[in-house]
């Protein structure tokens, strides 16, 4: 076999570099010398191409790999990975650590009475990208002191780690100002947060008629001590200039957040929440509105996934069943005038909770489809205002965010249903509050085996269905059909 490795460096001093966030694919081209001519692997005759097996091996390189006598791992160091019968070696993003790697492809050809073997080495390096430091919003802003200042670095990230695994990343805010060039005032002292945290500077910490230069530092200690990475020693920075207006300068607009729908003491999560920003003098020209929200004093989040689209930007409608019950929310409204002057308003509320710890059980826990009679009992509270709806669902139906699917078993006010027959394996009980319509569900899995019936028993069931249909008892007929 004659082997050529593609997208891989020929020596340890000249590896092909891949970033950790990239797909890695080392391809191979294998040909065979037969009777003095080349035969590619796509040709199945002569037999040498057909009977070959390929094995990939990969090692982390070390100091010995720089010495020729150790270049082929003659010390029998076991590889970190080994794969057989594939034409290319592939790794998805973030699967390999920062390091240099030695890769070997071994091709064996075994036929009756003769055999051949060859191998080829190549090298890759998995390298890092610099951290990304981004301050949300424009890099020059004018604000009024009475609104305070929100700073956010939510778009900062580590490109060397998956988007959902960024907990190792930190940000530090510092500043200098025209009144404090050394940055020793309270507002300029280092403030360490995570990128998802919004940094709110209260009005009393800001001075009128003052310019601030805030510096964002993005850093991590996750990679300290690792080779082939510069992240540990290279924090990233970004800056934003903030100008606070003088004491006598007025905001050229007067905004108030007004609730139009679902405006009770506590917001109902099963009903839309309609908010709008009202400019008291109806001066909307040049104003830009951006809505975000946070839960329980957590990080600010986009509303895109839970709000109605295609509305004027001064309106916000949060869809029904998009909010969690028993949670404190803070809706933030950022208002910009012609992309420059920025002020922040907020609307805080708490959502209503169904507030119950009731449990539900099914007995027995296993049985036969359409044959065994089950009892469903919930821990009923005489003072509750619940309606209990019972459903028989498949596991897929139970995962859907809808009540009216599957097979309805019944409705009660006392949380009990007896001698019901199940066919789908998952009992879902909905507890619905009579006063506000809020609901929660309890899910119980039941082990069901298939019902085995003789032809005579099945014929008897069919006769029973026919009799009930003729008698006008369609409900009983449908129940019998569903068991079968």
Beta bridge partners of 70: none
Q: Is the pLDDT of residue 226 over 80?
A: no
Q: Whole-number mean pLDDT of the chain?
A: 85
Domain that holds residue 369: 357-449
Q: Are residues 9 and 81 in the same domain?
A: yes
- Do the Cβ atoms of 105 and 120 come closer than 8 Å? yes
Any domain includes 42: no
pLDDT over 50 (residue 184): yes
d(CA 189, CA 201): 12
pLDDT at 104 over 80: yes
Residues 310 and 426 in one domain: no
Q: DSSP per residue over 251-299, as a string?
A: PSS-EEEEEEES-SSSB-TTS-EEEEEEETT---TTEEEEEEEEETT--
pLDDT over 80 at 221, yes or no: yes
Same domain, 212 and 243: yes
User: Can you tell me the mean pLDDT for 362-382?
Assistant: 90
Residue 259: inside a domain, yes or no?
Answer: no
Burial 154-171 (b: 16+ CB within 10 A, else e): bebbbebbeeeeeeebbb
Q: Which two tokens stand for residue 413?
A: 């006010």
417 within domain boundaries: yes
Residues 274 and 310 in one domain: yes
Do residues 168 and 93 both lie within one domain? no
Domain finish residue from 88, 111, 127: 127
Count of Cβ atoms closer than 10 Å to residue 8 Cβ = 24
CATH number, residue 269: 2.60.40.10
C-alpha dihedral, 154 to 159 to 163 to 168, nearest 10°: -70
Report the range out of 32-36, 44-48, 295-299 with the highest average pLDDT: 295-299
Q: Which of 90, 109, 127 is the last residue of a domain?
A: 127
Q: Which two tokens stand for residue 453?
A: 């019936």
Q: Could you tell me if 232 and 277 lie in one domain?
A: no
pTM of the model: 0.61
Q: How many angstroms separate the CA atoms of 425 and 370, rounded? A: 11
Q: How many domains does the chain have?
A: 5
Which helix (H) or strand (E) is 480 found in, with range? helix 474-483
Q: What is the pLDDT of residue 45?
A: 45
Q: Does residue 376 belong to any structural domain of this protein?
A: yes
- Residue 69 has what DSSP assignment? G
**Alpha helices for 76-170 (secondary structure H):** none
Is residue 15 located within the same domain as residue 119? yes
Q: Are residues 3 and 93 in the same domain?
A: yes
Structural domain contains residue 56: yes
Tell me, what's the pLDDT at 68? 44
Indicate the pairing of strand 301-302 with strand 287-295: antiparallel
Among 11-15, 108-112, 247-251, 381-385, name the one with the lowest average pLDDT: 108-112
For the purposes of burial, counting CB atoms within 10 Å of the CB of 313, is it exposed (0-12), middle (13-18) or buried (19 or more)? middle
Q: Could you tell me which residues come within 8 angstroms of residue 7 by beta carbon, excluding any fewer than 6 positions away? A: 16, 25, 26, 27
Same domain, 111 and 32: yes
Does 298 lie in the same domain as 208? no
Supply 370's token pair: 């359409």
Flag whether pLDDT at 242 surpasses 50.
yes
Q: State mean pLDDT over 166-181.
A: 94
What is the rounded distance in angstroms from the CA atom of residue 16 to the CA atom of residue 6? 10
The string of DSSP letters for 429-467 reads EEEEETTT--EEEEEEE-EEE-----HHHHHHHHHHHHH
256 lies in some domain? no
Phi, psi torsion values for 58, nearest 5 degrees: -135, 135
The DSSP string of 348-417 is EEEB--------EEEESSEEETTTSEEEEEE---TT--EEEEEEEE-HHHHHSS-SS-SEEEEEESSSEE
**Residue 258: inside a domain:** no
Look at residues 127, 154, 182 and tell me which one is the last residue of a structural domain: 127
Let me know if residue 402 belongs to a domain: yes
Same-domain pairing of 108 and 134: no
Same domain (yes/no): 474, 421: no
Token digits of residue 463 = 């006769």
Query: Which residue, 309, 249, 226, 306, is CA-closest to 273?
Result: 306
Out of 141-145, 193-197, 235-239, 458-462, least confident range: 458-462
């Amino acid at each position: 076999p004659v082997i050529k490795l593609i997208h891989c460096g020929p020596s340890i001093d000249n590896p092909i570099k891949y970033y950790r966030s990239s797909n890695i694919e080392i391809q191979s081209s294998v040909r065979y010398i037969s009777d003095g001519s080349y035969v590619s692997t796509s040709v199945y005759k002569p037999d040498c191409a057909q009977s070959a097996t390929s094995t990939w091996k990969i090692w982390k390189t070390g100091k010995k790999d720089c010495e020729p006598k150790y270049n082929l791992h003659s010390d029998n160091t076991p590889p970190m990975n080994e794969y057989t019968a594939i034409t290319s070696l592939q790794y998805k993003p973030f699967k390999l650590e920062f390091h240099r790697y030695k890769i070997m492809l071994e091709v064996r050809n075994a036929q009756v009475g003769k055999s051949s073997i060859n191998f080829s080495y190549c090298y890759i390096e998995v390298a890092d990208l610099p951290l990304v430091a981004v301050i949300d919003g424009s890099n020059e802003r004018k604000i009024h002191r009475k609104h305070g200042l929100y700073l956010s670095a939510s778009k900062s990230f580590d490109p060397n780690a998956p988007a959902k695994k960024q907990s190792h990343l930190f940000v530090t805010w510092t500043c200098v100002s025209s009144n404090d060039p050394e940055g020793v005032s309270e507002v300029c002292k280092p403030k360490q947060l995570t990128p998802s945290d919004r940094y709110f500077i209260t009005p009393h910490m800001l001075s009128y008629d003052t310019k601030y230069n805030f510096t964002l530092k993005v850093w991590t200690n996750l990679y300290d001590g690792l080779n082939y990475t510069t992240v540990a020693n290279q924090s990233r920075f970004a800056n934003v200039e903030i100008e606070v207006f003088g004491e006598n300068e007025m905001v050229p607009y007067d905004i108030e957040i007004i609730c139009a729908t679902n405006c009770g003491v506590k917001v109902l999560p099963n009903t839309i929440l309609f908010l709008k920003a009202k400019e008291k003098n109806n001066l909307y020209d040049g104003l830009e509105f951006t809505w975000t929200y946070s839960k329980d004093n957590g990080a600010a989040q986009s509303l895109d996934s839970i709000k109605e689209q295609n509305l004027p930007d001064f309106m916000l409608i949060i869809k029904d069943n998009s909010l969690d019950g028993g949670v404190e929310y803070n809706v933030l409204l950022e208002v910009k005038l012609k992309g420059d002057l920025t002020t922040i308003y907020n609307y805080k509320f708490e959502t209503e909770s169904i507030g119950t710890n009731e449990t539900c059980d099914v007995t027995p826990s296993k049985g036969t489809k359409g044959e065994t009679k089950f009892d469903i009992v919930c821990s009923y509270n005489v003072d509750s205002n619940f309606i209990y709806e019972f459903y028989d669902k498949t596991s897929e139906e139970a995962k859907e965010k809808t009540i009216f699917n599957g097979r309805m078993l019944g409705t009660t006010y006392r949380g009990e249903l007896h001698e019901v027959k199940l066919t789908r394996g998952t009992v879902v009980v909905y507890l619905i509050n009579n006063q506000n319509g809020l609901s929660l569900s309890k899910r119980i899995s039941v082990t069901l085996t298939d019902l085995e019936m003789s032809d005579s028993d099945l014929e008897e069931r069919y006769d029973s269905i026919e009799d009930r249909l003729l008698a006008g008892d369609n409900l009983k007929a449908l129940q019998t059909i569903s068991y079968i």
